[in-house]
Amino acid sequence: MRRVYIIVRNVVTSTTLLAAVVLLQAVVVLSAFPATFTLEKAFPVNSRIELSELRKRDSLRHGRMMLQKDTSPRGIIEFAAEGSYDAHVVGLYFTKVKLGSPPKDYYVQIDTGSDVLWVGCKPCIDCPTSSKFNIPITLYDPSSSSTSSPISCSDQICSQAGQTYNSSSCSHNQCTYTIHYGDGSATLGHYVSDLIHLKTLLTDTKSSNVSASVVFGCSTMETGILATSDGAVDGVLGLGRQGLSVISQLSSQGIAPNSFAHCLADGGGILVIGQPTVPNIIFTPLVKSQGYYSTHLHSISINGKRLSIDPSVFAINNDKAGTIIDSGTTLAYLTEEAYTPFVDAITKSVLLSVQQRTSNGNPCYSITSSVSNIFPIVSLNFFGGASMHLRPQDYLSLQSSKRSPEKGITILGDLVLKNKFIVYDLDAQRIGWADYDCFSIVEVSSNSSSSSGEVVNPSHISSGKSLWIRSHQQIPVIVIASIAQLTMMFLGFQAIDMSL
């Protein structure tokens, strides 16, 4: 097994990107049938050929055969992530991609809750010109890229986009789209095809640059927070399950594995196309009928005791979407029917150790001791015996706000997902997680387990071509909020006010 050691520095200061992709070039010849081919001998009939020459020729042929046998066309690609789960600081995670010819850098939000990669384009209405994240805002100009081409309305990818987003349409023979996000923001534009440039590692010492043609959105109008400098990035990297996702496009071209993972922490982390082999990882099946990364959440436990919540509130049907894993959501939300008993149980467990009050309509608590000494462990129990255990720091938020209840949906955002490797194994249709220091070394494989939907140990994961990623800084953990989220406000070493 090939291993590569890579240093990923603190992304807040400097970053060394890594990636590893092995490509096999292929030529496809199309012809009508029946066809006639002329066969000719490689050597003249009446001439003598030295045995060494024949061996040389066979050796070259065998070398090509072994190359095809031993070299995997699917490599490992890694992106450095920047950002934070803390909405007071950033409230999102983003990475950098290179698009066009000549290639230019674009900073895009990492979003597993949508499918389309898009960037702001020239000309653009209400697109931000600056960002509070201290990153340059760059508009993509199709006319300045020699490899850019618009997607026409007759293109098959346009009809595929229409199935993903019902608002896709046609204008001046260009395939257009409108994408609405849960926070009320939206982007409008048209699809283009251009090159994405990926840095790859071929061996321990050799690296290579690989380019692939992908379809992405060219945004000509943005609304909501997308149009403000507060949340300004160049676009969104949609990593959803549909065919327009960059993951699907690269996998279908044989460039990258059909799996990816992220480990997000306060200050950054990594996004990798491939499957990490980390200790104590557990998997649960994805719901195949859903377009999102939906899972079967069965119950919630507090300090090992299961709450009296009807499992049907987490069901997936016409009215309910189940439990969605979404890196594009900052907080986390429980369906209303589960949130009330959850809050009641938390309140009951800490009542003797806190002073209770109300803040912004939410139950709030003042404490003088460590959060971990007072608040309980929460477990989210999924199908197949997979449980996600949350420490108090993982379900208590650093902010207080009142939110309107939503029915029939549970969303696990960055506050719950951070400081964990979240693995999206699309070949096996499952999702896994494990607590992890996002700035430590990790082995990533281009292969995934062939089994589906059961809790597995990393020793059961097959290892193909792999690389190791190492970093130099540690970072914190996560939070579950809810429709009206849990909240923490630290006042130095004074009492801590907490609200539910």
Closest listed residue to residue 99, CA positions, set 211, 175, 239, 11: 211
With tokens 């982390």, the residue in question is 269
Q: Which of 233, 249, 231, 240 is nearest to 194 (CA)?
A: 249
Cis amide bond preceding 34, omega within 30 = yes
Taking the C-alpha atoms of residue 273 and residue 276, their distance in angstroms, rounded to an integer, is 9
- CA 395, CA 477: separation in Å to the nearest integer? 10
Residue 183 known to be catalytic: no
Choose among 392, 358, 390: nearest CA to 500: 358
**Residue from 249, 198, 181 nearest 426 by CA:** 249
What's the DSSP call for residue 258? S
Catalytic residue selected from 111, 234, 394, 425: 111
Establish whether 425 is a catalytic residue: no
- The answer to whether the beta carbons of residues 216 and 145 sit under 8 Å apart is no
Which among 326, 394, 414, 497 is annotated as catalytic? 326
Q: How far is residue 81's CA from residue 10's CA, in Å, rounded to a whole number? A: 10
Decide if 499 contacts 359 (C-beta within 8 A).
yes
3-state helix, strand, coil in the chain (%, to 5): 15, 35, 45
* Cβ count within 10 A of residue 79: 25
Query: First-to-last CA distance in the chain?
Result: 49
Q: Beta 362-367 vs 294-295: how paired, if at all? A: unpaired
Helical H segments across 384-465, by residue range: 414-417
Q: Which residues have CB under 8 Å from 234's CB, separation 6+? A: 106, 107, 108, 119, 120, 137, 138, 139, 140
106 and 235 in contact (C-beta within 8 Å)? yes
Q: Which helix (H) or strand (E) holds 467?
A: strand 466-471
The residues carrying an active-site annotation are 111, 326
